[in-house]
Amino acid sequence: MSTKTNAEIAAAFDELGDLYELDGAVSYRVIAYRTAAKAVRDASVSVMALTRDGRVTELPGIGKTLEEKLHALDETGDIPAAQKLRAKFPAGLIAVMHLPGFGPKRARLLYDELQVDSLEKLREAAEAGQIRTLRGFGAKVEENLLRVLADHDEGGSPAPRILLSRALPVAEQIAGALRDHPAADRVEIAGSLRRLGDTAKDIDIIATASDPAALIDRLRELELVESVHASGDAGARVVTHSGMKVDLKVVAPDQFGNVLQHFTGGKAHNVQLREWAVRRGLHISEYGVLDDETGETTRCATEEGVYERLGLPWIAPELREGRGELEAALKGELPRLVELSDIRGDLHCHTTLSDGRQTAEQMAEAALARGYEYLAITDHSASHGFGDHVTAEALEQRIEEIAALNASLDAIQLLAGTEVNILPDGSLDYPDELLARLDWVIASVHTSFGMDEATMTDRMIRAIEHPYVDAIGHPTGRKIETRPPYAIDMTRVIAAAARTGTMIEINAAPDRRDMNEIHARAAAAAGVKVLIDSDAHSARNFELLRYGIATARRAWLTPEQVANTRPWPEFAALRKRSKGAQ
DNA sequence: GCCGTTTTCGGCCCGACTGTTTTCAGTCG
């Protein structure tokens, strides 16, 4: 039997949490399973490997009982308690429980009283007017339910998430417009947008103003606003023409810090922060910090003030995911996170030779304008498969062109490179003699995504072991909105990269951000030098590096752990080909 | 079910909203 992935284990714990909830278990037990599921999902190493090593209880939220369940999952592929409860509750009941406005209590009552065990049965009961007869239910619930079920039928996606690169520029534009208003004092973006996650649900803005009504009016009148859904003394909710919800809250200056902290989240971070505070006799909310001893609530004008009141240093929003940041803050071990200004070169971009829009010279000039010290030109290789392939002969000619360009450009080092395809068997589609003549080789998978995990992982590791492969590009192949990652064991990939001195890229293209923050954190911890690359297909695309930086920061990466923060001579020596030569 | 700068037992985040209620339960973020 194959080893369960962290995602599969997390799903098993979530399912068991749902089943226990239906079974009426004390809520804290249910919460414990959900917490454990998150800890597993966020773990940067294989949880099953930890289990076999007897070290899994080192993960926060995993104790003796869950350790036993992990052993069962490993040995039998299932958890006995889950099997028992699945026999007790039909699967359709869990779907009922997850409907908006419904939960375990309501689902259970419907099951016990009306034998509702599926969405179809639920609809029948609602249409027959049976639901309003139940205690705690009424006509309103029944009406809302029928509406929810109708949405469900139309494949109604509940509040689609928006890619960060679409939401953030809009949020920044709105925040900028508000800041420019004379009534504005402080204006900040909050929510998952401020934490720079892959996607956001909506745009949250927190502000203070000398004249709140005037600032709220300013928002309502912005050209990009399509409609106003709610508006009052304390804020407004509007929707943009592009369909994004925008929430503006105007608050008193002396509690701006509390509100910004509260609405920045994330959920797990805030829960942990509040639990931690309770143990010290403090209670945190968006309104302030209440001290049990004095009965007084402290309001904070700044976010720093909130953390300081708790005896903690300010924590960067990108770290606020409940992944150990409180413990690190307490010990004074928060990382100095990598910043855009630390980056000295880009090791992955395309030109008109393959599918890019600008020439190598234009790309070099754009990189120079960004202050880069080096740039690798990495067009697609011989079998790219989309009509943009670069033959071996063309690449040989390109090497000469780059040499000539380098002679004419003093301030930047150009690298003659390639983004070479990793073929299904793990071999590369240029001869070794040609790869040896290049300054830089990044290898990526662009075809045959459907193979099984072991085969795909072996394929990738064969490329990693190739002496002329300096780095692996977008290692899981995911496209956030359109394509899941192919099956690959990143634990093995990272181990192979660490062993061979192969770098792994964080591809900054905002629909990729691949590797993701979990893998990037694991890679750095394993000693892999991480790259942050734009994969630019035009000079303008260099701007997208900020999204790679965001992923790196969410992965807790320091400049030291990112290879392309180094000056050129140091970076040059870090390449596998340089090490091999010495 | 987890966990300990009070605790190995007895706690376990905070507030808003909705719809049902006549003081609250359930759900949500």
Q: Residue A208 belongs to a domain with what CATH number?
A: 3.30.460.10
The answer to whether the beta carbons of residues A532 and A508 sit under 8 Å apart is: yes
Same domain for A317 and A463, yes or no, is no
Model pLDDT for residues A505-559, shown as the tens digit of each residue? 999 999 999 999 999 999 999 999 999 999 999 999 999 999 999 999 999 999 9
**pLDDT tier for residue A385 given thresholds of 50, 70 and 90:** low
Strand B contact residues in chain A (251-270), C-beta within 7 Å: 267, 270
A450 CA vs B28 C1’ separation (Å): 38
Nearest nt to the CA of A39 via C1' is B2
Q: How far apart are the first and last CA of chain A?
A: 44
- Number of independent structural domains in chain A: 4
Model pLDDT for residues A299-356, shown as the tens digit of each residue? 999 999 999 999 999 999 999 999 999 999 999 999 999 999 999 999 999 999 999 9
Same domain for A411 and A553, yes or no, is yes
List all nucleotides in chain B with at least one atom under 7 A from a protein Cβ.
1-3, 5-7, 11-15, 18-21, 25-29
Q: Is residue A438 part of a domain?
A: yes
| Average pLDDT value for residue range A485-497 | 96
Same domain for A89 and A216, yes or no, is no
Q: Is residue A262 part of a domain?
A: no
Q: Is residue A179 part of a domain?
A: yes
Domain end among A110, A129, A154:
A154
User: Across chain A, what does the average pLDDT equal?
Assistant: 95
Q: Is residue A97 part of a domain?
A: yes
Q: Determine the Cα–Cα distance for residues A122 and A107; give it in Å rounded to an integer.
A: 10
Same domain for A59 and A106, yes or no, is yes
Determine if the peptide bond prior to A97 is cis (ω within 30°).
no
Its domain, for residue A287, covers 267-330
Does the CB of A36 sit below 7 A from strand B?
Answer: yes
Cβ neighbours of residue A184 closer than 8 Å, sequence gap 6 or more: A178, A207, A208, A209, A215, A218
| pLDDT value, residue A421 | 96
Does the CB of A271 sit below 7 A from strand B?
Answer: yes
Does the CB of A64 sit below 7 A from strand B?
Answer: yes
Same domain for A167 and A144, yes or no, is no
Nearest to A48 by CA among A62, A28, A33: A62
Q: Quick check: A2 pLDDT over 80? A: no
Tokens of A325: 């940041």
| pLDDT value, residue A388 | 73
Helix (H, G, I), strand (E, B) or coil at A147: helix
Residue A466: give its domain's CATH number. 3.20.20.140
Q: Quick check: A156 pLDDT over 70? A: no
| pLDDT value, residue A157 | 61
Of all residues in chain A, what percent carry a pLDDT higher than 70? 98
Nearest nt to the CA of A102 via C1' is B27
A390 CA vs B29 C1’ separation (Å): 51
Residue type, A310: L
| pLDDT value, residue A3 | 86
Same domain for A418 and A324, yes or no, is no
Does the CB of A81 sit below 7 A from strand B?
Answer: yes
Strand B contact residues in chain A (413-442), C-beta within 7 Å: none
| pLDDT value, residue A1 | 54
